[in-house]
Structure 1
Amino acid sequence: MAQLIDGKALSAQVLQQVAADVALLKADYDILPTLAVVLVGEDPASQVYVRNKMKRASEVGIGSREHLLDAGTTQDELAQLIATLNSDPLVHGILVQLPLPAQLDEDSVIASIHPDKDVDGFHPLNVGALAAGRDTLVPCTPQGCMIMLNQVHSNLSGKNAVVVGRSNIVGKPMAALLLQANCTVTIAHSRTQNIESLCRQADIVIAAAGRMALVDATWIKPGATVIDVGINAIEIDGKRKLVGDVAFEAVSQVAGAISPVPGGVGPMTIACLLLNTTRAVTRQLACPLEQGVGAMNTTARSDRYVRS
């Protein structure tokens, strides 16, 4: 039976350190790290995500500002709000909850956020910096996956990794982070031929395709580490249940380590959002935390939360 990579427990470790860094910023620099979250419309899932982020921010002492906009908000109206937040020195992180209503151009909205306040890590300049191997704000879900991998592997160098999925939010930045850790990386997607055989050669499989139970036990090399990024809602006996892109029960009999859904990558994503908020403060205000997360690059920061 595979080792369970407990995202809830690991995220609690990350949040504990974030809380310590927030306290240090307040005590040493009189700075309250503050996150502004913009929600356009009334999508139920987005409302839940925003509530969870605000709750976790409050728990670690991060200030929050919630901007709830009507579903009919125009591009210019949203741009004006983001410009105001960009210029506000008391706001250190800006998150625009996706997806946006159809009339809004998501790419333009993301590009309008100042790169140093882009706690999602989606701005083109941050994407380019990540691809170039430079220190930058990194997308939260891949960052969380790296921390989880470092919980299992003391050294990722030389590992063969397959990322199933090529999205800008997970697949591509995940591959970039694995390359930084000196893995040999393959990105597989819907047009990939012989995807099962590619996965069977991998020491690490990251499943981020958005297809329920796509990855089954026949895809996995015995002892491999499997990180399940998928979140798919199904109904069983009239009850809503979340399942991943991995056939968990079957794969856990083959893999060496596996993350569950729920309770795996999800909690890590929110923890890394708040991690990015403290890092954003250090980028903007030149107040390094010598013993804190703000002073660490992506790989070193991940290593911090392993093997206490």
Structure 2
Amino acid sequence: MRHSILLPVNATRPEQVIPFANLVKWGGAARLWQGQGLVLDSHQIVGWLAGSGIRVPAGFGVSLMPYRSPYNAAIEARSTALATGHEVVAGYGPGSLAAQTCAMGRPYPSQLTACREYVTIVRDLLDGGISDREGEIFSAKAQLMPFHKPEVSLGLGVLRERMAELAGELADVAITWMASAAYLEEFLIPALRSAKERRPEQPVKVTAYVPVALAGPDRDMAKLLRATCGGHIQFPHYQAVLRRAGIRVTGDGGPDDVRALVDHGIFLYGTAEEIHQRLDAYRALGVDEVVLNVTGVGAVHGPRAAASDLYEILKAAP
């Protein structure tokens, strides 16, 4: 099982990313992952790093579909792979209903249909052919300028079983967020396996984002957890997924929420060795890659502390 890192700061200058990219180049991390860029665009950050001579494997988990057409998504993914010279994992997700409404004026009529049509068109384009599809939500009659096929793996953000089945059918990578090992084992892995039976020649890989933080005398576990997960647990769709896993949260980030998320392995807190002991559960399930998420440390203690936590956890990897 590989250990990768999530960029833990909301960068406003590309230079702020260098220490974390160097953890991939020199520190043992397999890949630098980013979510949807909120200030600087995630793909442009990787392009800037490549232009500066720091070419590292990149992952995007997930880029929100309402903010880019399938054609633009394919251009971004191919450009990043060509600029870095490394495989890119281009992960997509529909985002929340609120995000869809803000970007498009209305939500997708079907989340699964939107994802199916979107990823299919992106794959057509990256494969070098003409995408000639008339869909309910996304349509295309287009082709990228011919060039050799880039090393791009397509991913889908996965929260529930039906999206896991779709990822198993269409994607190369299923990207999970705030999913404990127990939830993966009971719900998501069986759904992925059912799709694998229909597509045995190319089974989907699993990349799991895992919120973590090192314990210390200056650390407040509850504060770190709220900074890492507090925004997400306010969304109804995340609360619904947590309830499926037997985790009830109010969304206010209070003591009961903190206790529930820690006790059920959503947020891993302790020494580097203790964190790896908890990560062993993901390894046992056959998870291909875990993405260490120390955004809470970055928000509370700053980017230097976040980089230090990542270095210590990576150094302790078995």
What TM-score, normalized by structure 1, do the two folds share? 0.31
- The structure whose residues are more often helix, as a share, is 2
RCO higher in structure (CA 8 A, sep ≥6): 1
